[in-house]
Amino acid sequence: MKILFLNGPNLNLLGQREPEVYGRTTLKDIEAKVRERAAQFKADIDFRQSNVEGELVNWIQDARGKADVIVLNAAAYTHTSVALRDAISGIGIPTIEIHLSNIHAREEFRHTSLIAPVCKGQIAGFGANSYVLAVEAAIIVNGAAKS
């Protein structure tokens, strides 16, 4: 089983960026935690980050026939991107939306996710552990897709 983790803008700055909101764990450390958890399920991980919306769209499209599940932290694009939403609904790969912070407990503009309606579900508010939980969610979603 292959899980594609995609990270949107500014997540390359994790560890330094607003640590009171996002914690002190870097994206590299998060990737290591994800790989450790995935190894327990014998799942393959592809883990990427981009600040560019179109690059994220290209990666979603390219996942066809390669990834079983996509885990997406679209960061700020969560709240703005029709292009990401259309890419997710266009390719038909089950996608899980994740966030480090609880977007529903923050500013009003973060309460709306344009991608949520085309995702299987959302994990938000558990810091770096949102990513670890997403590995398990991906296994469940993949099992459900196959049974």
Q: Interface residues with ligand DQA (CB under 6 A)?
A: 10, 73, 75-76, 78, 99-101, 103, 110
**What is the smallest separation between the CB atom of 67 and ligand DQA, expressed in angstroms?**
20
C-beta closer to ligand DQA: residue 1 or 83 = 83
Contact partners, residue 115, CB within 8 Å, separation at least 6: 72, 74, 78, 81, 84, 85, 88, 95, 97
Q: Establish whether 22 is a catalytic residue.
A: yes
| Contact of 10 with 76, CB cutoff 8 Å | yes
**What is the smallest separation between the CB atom of 91 and ligand DQA, expressed in angstroms?**
21
C-beta closer to ligand DQA: residue 1 or 118 = 118
C-beta closer to ligand DQA: residue 73 or 142 = 73
Q: Establish whether 99 is a catalytic residue.
A: yes
- Identify residue 107 by its one-letter amino acid code: E
Read off the tokens for 112.
């709306």
**What is the smallest separation between the CB atom of 78 and ligand DQA, expressed in angstroms?**
6
**What is the smallest separation between the CB atom of 23 and ligand DQA, expressed in angstroms?**
10
Pick the catalytic residue: 99, 104, 111, 131? 99
Catalytic residue numbers, as ranges:
22, 99
